Amino acid sequence: MSKAIITVVGKDTVGIIARVCTFLADNQINILDISQTIVQGYFNMMMIVDITAADERFGALAEAIEKLGDEIGVKIKCQKEEIFTSMHRI
Amino acid sequence: MLNMFEVIETNNMIEQEKLDVRTITMGISLLDCSDSDLNAVNDKIYKKITTLAKDLVSTGESIEREFGIPIVNKRISVTPIALVGGAACRTPEDFVTIAQTLDRAAKEVGVNFIGGYSALVCKGMTAADENLIRSIPQALACTERVCSSVNVGSTKTGINMDAVNLMGEVVRQTAEATKEEDSLGCAKLVVFCNAPDDNPFMAGAFHGVTEADAIINVGVSGPGVVKVALEKARGQNFEVLCETIKKTAFKITRVGQLVAQEASRRLGIPFGIIDLSLAPTPAVGDSVAEILEEIGLERVGAPGTTAALAMLNDQVKKGGVMASSYVGGLSGAFIPVSEDQGMIDAVTLGALTIEKLEAMTCVCSVGLDMIAIPGDTPATTIAGIIADEAAIGMVNQKTTAVRVIPVIGKGVGDTVEFGGLLGYAPVMPVNTYSCEKFVTRGGRIPAPIHSFKN
């Protein structure tokens, strides 16, 4: 399985999770885990998703989700999981 | 499973603390491009580089995008050209045509520097070596992306003082040949002792003759990350300080290892080494000097600087070695003056002198790096500076180098702007007493006693 991490940071507003999830569903990406908090009015979310079905077009996908973030007014990043596991797991 | 804290930590390192992979450098052997016909050599070199490295830049960019980690430079190092062009080049001008070919190939594949316009003369010079060295001023003046290096000494062989003396002249001539651009040519010329074969960092990168046909070497960076980590260890003892540096170096290096493996897999070229160097840039917060100041120095250059740097360098290695399967290259903290805002500030304030920088080079990688000196500094004095650094490298069994820029038409008090990653530098004073009779004696300094280990 090929996994990616999506992070969303920005000012809290209605429908952030809904729009991100709709985007993922439209692109056949399954969500494996979500954690989310609000710190001083700022929305912080991390998703672990399965990108096996979308691995080929990962670059385009990461760009599209970043653009979605611009539309909502939050910062969204989509990165392959390995950068985090290599740094934090021996 | 990963938690949010870890993910945020990594992304903060990238976004706020300027963590990046400084360079993916493809080493390419040009030994099979040798020929007695100069045109044939040039054709073969151009074809080999543009074939092997055609996907280097695009692969680097896709790794950047997928993992969200900036890869600042994609570069190429080649076999020392004195060896490749030896059979075809009869004059320095012949060698210059190869420099132009390298420049053309670099532009074609889109890399910003190509290293290996080099000669290895630590014991003696062949006619080809000498022709190449004499061609360096012209080669660097008429090309944009070619970097040159000359190895003039080693622990095993001693120091070739004829080459040292010649390099003093070549550095000056290079400065003259590029005086319209503040002697920028000298920023692309390094004089080494104990030069490593697998260094990915410019300007000193070349692909050694003991290496495979092609290889991927990666240089990591991250002074900003170390500095921020140390801010949390303020007032703590050395044990805590060292642990913090080691942990941070481990994390930084793991990113480099990931990028190196991915690049190697996608390009179908074996992974060589990770170079564990803390490489600063002129950007604020990306400075080795600032780390030393965070450790407790008012300004870099103050008493204690050498000890702090020795400790920093050692901890970076201890943390980094475990994070990578193969470590090589220069691996240590870089202390280039013009490329490090903290160093520039310390020089401007008078806290940091060339003599202190020389002491610092005893305990970290490289040497007197990116230092602007007065334009009227004699060639023999530059040769003396090179000899001093080479002696430090030879005796301490480490790499040392000199990359000084005698800025034609400028003196102490002036500032030189190199632009981009090369930054800017105040012209530093050099001891004006002569060493001419010493450097012009001719011959070699013999290998030190501790090199006889057989």
The whole-number pLDDT of residue B419 equals 80
The whole-number pLDDT of residue B225 equals 92
- Output the CA angle B303-B244-B312, nearest 5 degrees: 35
Instruction: Calculate the dihedral angle through the C-alpha atoms of A82, B323, B287, B308, rounding to the nearest 10 degrees.
Output: 160
| B45 shares a domain with B125 | yes
| Tens-place pLDDT, residues B109-161 | 999 999 999 999 999 999 999 999 999 999 999 999 999 999 999 999 999 99
Question: Does residue A39 belong to the interface with chain B, where contact is any CB pair within 8 Å?
Answer: no
Q: Point out the domain boundary residue: B193, B226, B261.
A: B193
Question: Does residue A21 belong to the interface with chain B, where contact is any CB pair within 8 Å?
Answer: no
| B233 shares a domain with B119 | no
Please give, rounded to a whole number of angstroms, the shortest distance from the CA of B320 to a CA of chain A: 12
Residues B7, A84: contact at Cβ < 8 Å?
yes
For residue A55, pLDDT over 80 is answered with no
Q: How far from B56 is each of B23, B74, B264, CA to CA, in Å?
A: 11, 7, 10
Nearest partner of B49 among B94, B85, B101, B97, judged by Cα: B101
Computed over every residue of chain A, the mean pLDDT equals: 91
Nearest partner of B292 among B367, B245, B227, B225, judged by Cα: B227
For residue B365, pLDDT over 80 is answered with no
Neighboring chain A residues of B68 at a CB cutoff of 8 Å: 62, 77-79, 83
| B227 shares a domain with B353 | yes
Q: Do A35 and B3 touch (CB under 8 A)?
A: yes
Beta bridge partners of B218: B24, B274
Q: How far from B352 is each of B187, B292, B303, CA to CA, in Å?
A: 20, 13, 10
Whole-angstrom Cα distance, residue B436 to residue A80?
A: 59
Q: CATH number, domain at A81?
A: 3.30.70.260
> Cα–chain-centroid distance for residue B15?
25
Q: Do B6 and A5 touch (CB under 8 A)?
A: no
Phi, psi of B42 (to 5 degrees): -60, -45
Computed over every residue of chain B, the mean pLDDT equals: 94
| Tens-place pLDDT, residues B43-89 | 999 999 999 999 999 999 999 999 999 999 999 999 999 999 999 99
Identify whether B212 is part of a domain.
no
Q: Do B67 and A80 touch (CB under 8 A)?
A: yes
Please give, rounded to a whole number of angstroms, the shortest distance from the CA of A49 to a CA of chain B: 12
Overall average pLDDT of the B351-365 stretch: 94
Question: Does residue B359 belong to the interface with chain A, where contact is any CB pair within 8 Å?
Answer: no
For residue B198, pLDDT over 80 is answered with yes
Residue B267, domain extent: 218-451
Which residue's entry shows tokens 């889109």? B110
Amino acid at B453: K
Question: Does residue B1 belong to the interface with chain A, where contact is any CB pair within 8 Å?
Answer: yes
| Strand ranges (E), B105-145 | 114-120
Q: How many Cβ atoms are within 10 Å of A41's Cβ, its own excluded?
A: 7
Neighboring chain A residues of B2 at a CB cutoff of 8 Å: 5, 46, 48, 81, 84-85, 88
Identify whether B367 is part of a domain.
yes
| B123 shares a domain with B67 | yes
Whole-angstrom Cα distance, residue B269 to residue B29?
A: 12
Percent of all residues in chain B with a pLDDT value above 90, rounded to a whole number: 89
Overall average pLDDT of the B362-366 stretch: 86
For residue B230, pLDDT over 90 is answered with yes
Phi, psi of B93 (to 5 degrees): -60, -35
Residues B335, B224: contact at Cβ < 8 Å?
no
Instruction: List, as one string, the DSSP characters of B197-257.
Output: TT--SSSS----TTS-SEEEEEEE--HHHHHHHHHTTTT--HHHHHHHHHHHHHHHHHHHH
Please give, rounded to a whole number of angstroms, the shortest distance from the CA of A89 to a CA of chain B: 9
Nearest neighbour of A7 by CB, restricted to B11, B62, B258: B11
Q: How many domains does chain A have?
A: 1
| B435 shares a domain with B352 | yes
Question: Does residue B246 belong to the interface with chain A, where contact is any CB pair within 8 Å?
Answer: no
Neighboring chain A residues of B3 at a CB cutoff of 8 Å: 35
For residue B443, pLDDT over 80 is answered with yes
Q: Do A62 and B65 touch (CB under 8 A)?
A: yes
Whole-angstrom Cα distance, residue B361 to residue B344?
A: 17
The whole-number pLDDT of residue B366 equals 81
Structure token pair of residue B185: 């040519």
Q: CATH number, domain at B330?
A: 3.20.70.20
**Total-model pTM:** 0.93
Nearest partner of B205 among B373, B55, B48, B328, judged by Cα: B328
Whole-angstrom Cα distance, residue B291 to residue B390?
A: 27
Identify whether B201 is part of a domain.
no
| Tens-place pLDDT, residues B366-412 | 889 999 999 999 999 999 999 999 999 999 999 999 999 999 999 99
| B33 shares a domain with B155 | yes
| B228 shares a domain with B181 | no
Identify whether B357 is part of a domain.
yes
Least confident residue range of B331-335, B341-345, B346-350 = B331-335
Question: Does residue B6 belong to the interface with chain A, where contact is any CB pair within 8 Å?
Answer: yes
For residue B282, pLDDT over 90 is answered with no
Q: How many domains does chain B have?
A: 2
- Output the CA angle B3-B8-B14, nearest 5 degrees: 135
| B294 shares a domain with B178 | no
DSSP symbol at B350: T
Residues 6+ apart with CB under 8 A from B318: B246, B249
Overall average pLDDT of the A64-82 stretch: 94
Nearest partner of B303 among B359, B365, B245, B385, judged by Cα: B359
Nearest partner of B322 among B252, B270, B221, B241, judged by Cα: B252
A39: pLDDT confidence band, cut at 50, 70 and 90? confident
The whole-number pLDDT of residue B24 equals 96
Identify whether B199 is part of a domain.
no
Residue A38, domain extent: 3-88
Overall average pLDDT of the B192-212 stretch: 95
| B246 shares a domain with B137 | no
Question: Does residue A66 belong to the interface with chain B, where contact is any CB pair within 8 Å?
Answer: no
| B356 shares a domain with B417 | yes
Identify whether B172 is part of a domain.
yes
Overall average pLDDT of the B206-222 stretch: 94
| B234 shares a domain with B87 | no
Convert chain A into a string of H (helix), E (strand) and C (coil): CCEEEEEEEEECCCCHHHHHHHHHHHCCCEEEEEEEEEECCEEEEEEEEECHHHHHHHHHHHHHHHHHHHHHCEEEEEEECHHHHHHHCC
Neighboring chain B residues of A5 at a CB cutoff of 8 Å: 2, 7
Whole-angstrom Cα distance, residue B391 to residue B382?
A: 14
| B321 shares a domain with B222 | yes
The whole-number pLDDT of residue A40 equals 79
